[in-house]
């Protein structure tokens, strides 16, 4: 991937600390994602990788440090958090679709309320993004009538319909039955191919190896090592990385 030296990172995390009470879960993270880059964050549970992801769009308040979104500091007290968030798509482990709304309304409600799009325009965008995830026929369905894999694809479409500059994925396949994982990963693979900037917290080592431009291994609230997937996943430099890969591998 060609990255001009003066390009502004899509996500830049500087010396980020986060504590829950006495428990320090992020111990000074420095981390960045360049535009168009797909970065997979791996690590044992409790390593702080989901917390890091949630700090990026400030669903979680950091204790200290900065997070810059395309150069704008989202951690600044005066930051327009809602406007910044609308540039960041987020996909949750538990899908979090709005169960009282149809698929179409799930995809249009934020477009209309946040992007101020007209109903017809929002619908057009919704139809297009649903097509991208292969669920055009489910436009009038309700979330409870969809399989887990379909729900997660709708959730991806919901985030995409805001036309975000980047996407955050928080273990997007961890809540799925094994046979439904593939369809979600396929959608994410397409997104990556189209050049979407992505930060993916995942346990899917195959996906990280195949799609990731870079893999970041976290343990105990710190980044242990990072680099090209080939290198991290097959020839890790640190003992902790090796142990983790043996356990999941």
Partner 1 sequence: MTKRQKQRLVRGVLYLVLLAGVLAVGLLADWETTRRNFFNAQLAREMFPDVLTIAARNTLLYTFLAFSFGLVFGLVLALMRLSSIKPYRWLATIYIETFRGLPALLTIFLVGIGIPIAFGTRWPTLVTITLGLGIVAAAYMAETIRAGIEGVPKGQMEAARSLGMTYTWAMISIVIPQGFRIIIPPLTNELVLLIKDTSLLFVIGTTPATKELLKFGRDLLNTHANATPLIVVGAVYLAITVPLTQLVRILERRNARSR
| 70/213 with CB nearer partner 1 | 70
Restricting to residues 106-135, which ones interact with partner 1 according to CB under 8 A?
109-110, 113-114
Q: Is the dihedral of CA 233, 239, 241, 245 positive or negative?
A: positive
- Nearest approach in angstroms of CB 229 to partner 1 is 27
Q: How far is CA 38 from CA 16, 87, 116, 168, in A?
A: 21, 17, 30, 10
| Contact pattern for partner 1 over residues 139 through 178, marking x by CB under 8 A | -----x----------x--xx--x----------------
Task: Sort 140 into a burial class: Cβ within 10 Å, 0-12 / 13-18 / 19+.
Answer: exposed
The distance of closest approach from Cβ of residue 86 to partner 1 in the complex, given in angstroms and rounded to an integer, is 3
**Site pattern 27..56 for partner 1 (x: CB under 8 A):** ------------------------------
Residue 85 vs 153, nearer CB to partner 1: 85
- Number of amino acids touching partner 1 (CB under 8 A): 25
Among positions 50, 51, 57, 62, the unique one binding partner 1 when judged by CB under 8 A: 57
Q: Which is nearer to partner 1, 113 or 193 (CB)?
A: 113
* CA–CA gap between residue 222 and residue 16 (Å, rounded): 10
| Beta-strand pair 38-42/197-201 | parallel
| Near partner 1 in 72-111, by CB under 8 A | 82-83, 85-86, 88-90, 92, 94, 96-100, 109-110
User: Which CB sits closer to partner 1, 55 or 205?
Assistant: 55
Q: DSSP readout, 112-144?
A: HHTS---HHHHHHHHHHHHHHTT-GGGTT--GG
Q: Measure the N-to-C terminal CA separation of the chain; round to a whole number of Å.
A: 27
Q: Is the dihedral of CA 231, 242, 173, 163 positive or negative?
A: negative
Q: Per-residue x/- mask for partner 1, residues 179 to 218, rule CB under 8 A?
A: ----------------------------------------
Surface-to-core class of residue 78, CB atoms within 10 Å of its CB (0-12 exposed, 13-18 middle, 19+ buried)? exposed
110: tokens are: 């934020």
Q: Choose between 153 and 158: whose C-beta lies nearer to partner 1.
A: 158
Q: Which is nearer to partner 1, 88 or 188 (CB)?
A: 88
Query: Considering all CA atoms of the chain, what is the largest pairwise distance in Å, rounded to the nearest integer?
Result: 55
The bridge status of strand 64-69 relative to strand 72-73 is antiparallel
Enumerate binding residues for partner 1 (CB under 8 A): 57, 59, 82-83, 85-86, 88-90, 92, 94, 96-100, 109-110, 113-114, 144, 155, 158-159, 162
């Amino acid at each position: 991937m060609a990255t001009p030296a003066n390009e502004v990172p899509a996500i830049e995390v500087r010396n980020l600390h986060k504590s829950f009470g006495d428990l320090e879960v992020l111990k000074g993270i420095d981390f960045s994602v360049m535009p168009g880059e797909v970065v997979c964050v791996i690590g044992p549970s409790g390593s702080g990788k989901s917390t890091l992801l949630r700090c990026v769009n400030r669903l979680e308040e950091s204790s200290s440090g900065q997070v810059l979104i395309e150069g704008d500091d989202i951690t600044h007290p005066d930051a327009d958090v809602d406007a910044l968030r609308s540039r960041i798509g987020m996909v949750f482990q538990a899908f979090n679709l709005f169960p009282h709304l149809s698929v179409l309304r799930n995809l249009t409600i934020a477009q209309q309320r946040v992007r101020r799009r007209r109903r017809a325009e929002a619908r057009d965008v919704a139809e297009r993004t649903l097509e991208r995830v292969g669920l055009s026929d489910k436009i009038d369905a309700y979330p409870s009538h969809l399989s887990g894999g379909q729900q997660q694809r709708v959730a991806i479409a919901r985030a995409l319909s805001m036309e975000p500059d980047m996407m955050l994925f928080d273990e997007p396949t961890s809540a799925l039955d094994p046979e439904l994982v593939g369809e979600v990963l396929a959608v994410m693979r397409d997104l990556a191919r189209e050049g979407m900037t992505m930060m993916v917290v995942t346990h899917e080592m195959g996906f990280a190896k195949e799609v990731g431009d870079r893999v970041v291994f976290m343990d105990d609230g710190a980044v242990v090592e990072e680099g090209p997937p080939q290198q991290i996943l097959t020839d890790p430099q640190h003992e902790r990385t090796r142990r983790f890969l043996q356990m999941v591998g």
